[in-house]
A and B are shown apart, each in its own frame.
Chain A
Amino acid sequence: MSDFISFTNPADILALIPHTLGEQPTESFVVLTMNGTRLGATLRVDAPFGADPRGYAQTLVSHLSADENATGTLLVIYTDENSPGNPRPYSEHVEALRAELATAQMPLKDAWMVTSHAWRNYLCTDPACCPDEPLEAITTSNGNAELIYRGSQVTGFTAPEPFTGDPRVRETIKAHTPEGWPGELDRSRAIWAEVLQNPETLTAGRGHELAGAFQHPTVRDYLMADVMTTAPEQFTSVLLGVVLARPDWARVDRAQEIAFELMKATPEGQRAPMLCLIGWLEWLKGKSSFAARYFKLAMEDVTDYRLASLLTELLNRGLVADCARNKAMSYTPSIR
């Protein structure tokens, strides 16, 4: 079987986007880079609303420039801001983007608009030539079928399950929270390493111990960094996605699954660190929208939880993890 899926029409490309992002975007600009006929990075940003067109376009192009091999781009606008009197919303932003992309040597090859009801070409306004197409054309496209056949699913946001255990667990976890001694850090890291290596070693007792360890900010920091085995020696830089080699993404997926498991046995008010871990790993994968939702849940769990608050601020400033910007390092969903 070929490593690549071939897309032959716009519906195929529109089908690919939710598979790549994990959900159907709304009120967003999505730009795909191309290297010849090969698709590269997918950039999703919030629709510009009142943003200055040129500044907005420059911001997008500055993100896209991470794909050094890009020779062209495709744009998809997800919006319901269109109306009979304004069939091409954000036209000033698209024109500014077209100009900036041309300057950056990755010209815009085509553009489409997807609403809640239909999709159509954005650049061609002749309905006889490019009429509205039903959304079913996307879901029934060959590209979508091929992606599903290869095991890809548009899973959407995975919310953690609520805690339904014995409320006394709260005290157990509290009792396991380290005081900050080096021996406690070493022990927590050793358990975490073993569970990450073999999730079957996660017993109820170890779960409480790890949940307790995550409550201590310094220990939490080390446990988070320990997920990434290709981190630089200075462990804090991995937080921004700086890695020396391609991360072990299967380990990252396992870490997220374990964090979800830990939360099943962790009552409200103690779940924020695990939510931060899951969100941070989503961000490393290039999925900031999901990450932001986990950080929001963390701040709902523990009001003003500092790590979640800082990471949210970072995301809102449009920061993309280093490893997500580098194709050789970035996350690839496993597709059969």
Chain B
Amino acid sequence: MASEFRMTEDDTVGPDASQIEDLLELRLLTAGPETGPVDFPVTDHRLEQP
């Protein structure tokens, strides 16, 4: 029979923990050189030369 599990304060998530921030730090390790922000939206129109 499984023993009863009780949550304690040790099971709460730390107030500063962030998986997303940790992931970003990892991603930055392999990021390229500084170039400034790059905008890359997509358009969908047709060009007709006169």
B21 touches A310 (CB 8 A): yes
Partner of B37, one of A216, A306, A310, A316: A316
B27 touches A43 (CB 8 A): no
A34 touches B42 (CB 8 A): no
How far is the CB of A15 from the nearest CB of chain B, in Å? 11
Q: Could you list some 16 contacts between A and B, CB below 8 A?
A: A3-B44, A20-B41, A41-B40, A43-B38, A43-B39, A180-B12, A181-B12, A182-B7, A236-B20, A286-B40, A287-B39, A310-B28, A314-B31, A317-B32, A319-B27, A332-B42
- Chain A residues in 8 Å Cβ range of B32: 59, 317-319
- Chain B residues in 8 Å Cβ range of A216: 13, 15
How far is the CB of A12 from the nearest CB of chain B, in Å? 8
B46 touches A286 (CB 8 A): no
Using known A-B contacts A4-B45, A286-B41, A331-B41, determine if residue A239 contacts B24 with beta carbons closer than 8 Å.
yes
Partner of B47, one of A6, A217, A287, A292: A6
- Chain B residues in 8 Å Cβ range of A306: 18, 21
CA distance A287 to B37 in the complex (A): 9
Q: Does B2 contact A (CB under 8 A)?
A: no
Give A contacts to B, CB under 8 Å: 3-9, 13, 16, 20-21, 32, 34, 37-46, 59, 63, 66, 179-182, 185, 216-218, 220-221, 224-225, 235-237, 239-240, 285-289, 291-292, 306-307, 310-311, 313-320, 324-325, 327, 330-332
How far is the CB of B38 from the nearest CB of chain A, in Å? 5
CA distance A317 to B33 in the complex (A): 6
Nearest residue in B to A235 (C-beta to C-beta)? B19
Q: Does B16 contact A (CB under 8 A)?
A: yes
